[in-house]
Structure 1
Amino acid sequence: MPEPLYCAIAVVDIEGFGKRNDTDQGTLRRDLHAALAEALGAEGVDWSALDPKDTGDGAILRIPASVPKTAITRALSWKLHTALVRRCLAEVPVEEMRVRVALHGGEITEDEIGLRGTDLNTASRLVDAQQLRDVLAAAARSHVAVIVSDAWYRAVVRHGYEGIAAESFAPVRISIKELRETAWVTVPGLSTPPGLPPFEPDQAPSAPTGVAPAGSAAQAPAAPGSRSLVIHGPVQEVTQGDKNIKNIYGGFGPNAAVR
């Protein structure tokens, strides 16, 4: 019997994939793999060595434990955002593509049928969580919404490593099928993810020292009929109480969203 192997797990889903015709679906699948390869390559990860599993409307990536989780976090948030923005700047108009990303780590077994494992189930539940769908829907001008497991947040995000804005992650309680846990959501380019309900933890979340869990910020609606190939104005300023928040949609780095 095959032995389980520890790896980082990334599950990526394309929003609204089933609403596209077959030709557009084929284009989106190719473009997603190209964007993932570009994003991971920017962090020095060899796409050809990953053996990605296509899921029809997305992909499952098993990334070796030798690849730093910090690099994976940057690649599949900021760098993926950058790759998808660059795709929209092509001379030829492209079909809209916005994606949800889940990051987790754990044991996966591959047998003659395919991949299996509780940790893979966890990552798949996270990417399908209604809260993540709601965030991407509310972030109408963004290309990527990311959810990470609490274990990933504790190990990587909360420490504030270079290129990872811990304060832009907000906690959310996930309850879907067998999964019951706190996860953390972020939208590259926004100082806080929109569209989340108030957080009601079973216990206090492990926020980084001196950083309060992020809430929801207002966001201007997208123009009727707009497509992602249009890059909207770069800065939106929102007043919350005595704070002025800048949301930068077209940013190309973790400092694009600032308080």
Structure 2
Amino acid sequence: MSVSRGGAVHRLVVSADIKGSGRLGQRAKIRARQGMYEVFEAAFAAVGVGGSQVHLEDRGDGVLAALAPEVPPAALVGLWLEEVHQGVREHNEGLSEPLRLRIAMHGGPVAEDGRGLVGRAVDLACRLCDSEPAKAILAADDDVHVVFVASDVLYHSVVAEGGRFVEPEHYRPIPVRAKETDEVAWFHVPRRAAPPWPAAAPPPEQPAPTAVPGGRPGQAPGAKYWINVNGHNQIVDGAEVHGDIVGVRVTRERDGGAEGAERGE
């Protein structure tokens, strides 16, 4: 792909990463990388993209690609993604350590400085690919081998329009917050009505406040006194309180009742 150095041209950017590659042994890592490249190359060929139309950069456990301006984004979010899904399925047959991919796309101005691709579109695509929601979706279901992330702009301008192999109704919007990124992205798992999402743990139950004899309404169980503070730091019952103690009410159990005494300073 020809990109003039220093000049930015609008491109569709694809960022992909292999899940858990750092935990793979050497042979498994090589097999996963080889499988990823074979799947991507076959998918690009299926949509008629090749040669100078695609720029590929190796990222160790992933790849970064930028497409020529004439490549229609609808082909990538449609047939290309379907071919990737089917290619990964075929590659994983009989493997105890299946290839599992996170793939993200975003379009925008991209420049080439002689060492690689540069631009906000590149940064965002990489951050969406590496986002916590993308990782959580893969972690939520071992049967998911491909999770796809579209930027908000790409979803509304391309995915939402639908088309062959494009399923906008099966995407889920999820906020992504990392580094300088704070926006909604759209997550999709091919052939799923919705991406799996770990159920949120319910908040821990808090004990209901109960009345303490001689205490203030709503005082927590086990409370022995109430205090008003105003001024310099004090240490009360082992806890630091910021302010002078103006009043203390001490409650003691006596003959089944309560006896209260107030002290002031």
Same fold by TM-score, threshold 0.5 exceeded? yes
Quick one: which amino acid aligns to residue 194 of structure 2? T
User: 1:100, CA displacement in angstroms?
Assistant: 0.3
CA gap 1:85/1:161 in 2 versus in 1, 3 angstroms:
same
* CA shift digits 1:88-146 (9 cap, x unpaired): 33xx7474110000010011111133221111101111001101111112232121000
* CA shift digits 1:165-216 (9 cap, x unpaired): 1110000111111011111000001101111678xxxxxxxxxxxxxxxxxx
Aligned to 1:129: 131
Unmatched segments (≥5 aa) in structure 2? 201-265
Aligned to 2:175: 173
Aligned to 1:156: 158
CA gap 1:113/1:42 in 2 versus in 1, 3 angstroms:
closer
Match of residue 39, structure 2, among 35, 56, 78? 35
Count of residues in correspondence between the two structures: 196
For the 8 Å contact 2:100–2:144, the answer to whether it is kept is yes
Aligned to 2:89: 85
1:124 & 1:53 partners in 2: Cα distance? 12
Aligned to 1:46: 50
CA gap 1:8/1:197 in 2 versus in 1, 3 angstroms:
farther
Quick one: which amino acid aligns to residue 55 of structure 1? R
Match of residue 120, structure 1, among 119, 122, 128? 122
Matched, 1:58 2:62: yes
User: 1:76, CA displacement in angstroms?
Assistant: 4.5
CA gap 1:15/1:76 in 2 versus in 1, 3 angstroms:
farther
Match of residue 13, structure 1, among 14, 17, 20? 17
Unmatched segments (≥5 aa) in structure 1? 199-259
Higher relative contact order (CA 8 A, sep 6+): 1
CA gap 1:197/1:106 in 2 versus in 1, 3 angstroms:
farther
* CA shift digits 1:208-257 (9 cap, x unpaired): xxxxxxxxxxxxxxxxxxxxxxxxxxxxxxxxxxxxxxxxxxxxxxxxxx
SS at 1:52's partner residue? strand
For the 8 Å contact 1:37–1:47, the answer to whether it is kept is no
CA gap 1:79/1:4 in 2 versus in 1, 3 angstroms:
same
User: 1:25, CA displacement in angstroms?
Assistant: 1.5
Quick one: which amino acid aligns to residue 3 of structure 1? G
For the 8 Å contact 2:55–2:67, the answer to whether it is kept is no
1:88 & 1:97 partners in 2: Cα distance? 6
User: 1:72, CA displacement in angstroms?
Assistant: 0.6
2:74 & 2:98 partners in 1: Cα distance? 28
Percent identical pairs in the alignment equals 29
1:67 & 1:139 partners in 2: Cα distance? 33
1:196 & 1:181 partners in 2: Cα distance? 20
1:153 & 1:196 partners in 2: Cα distance? 23
Aligned to 2:27: 23
User: 1:48, CA displacement in angstroms?
Assistant: 6.9
> TM-score, normalised on structure 1?
0.71
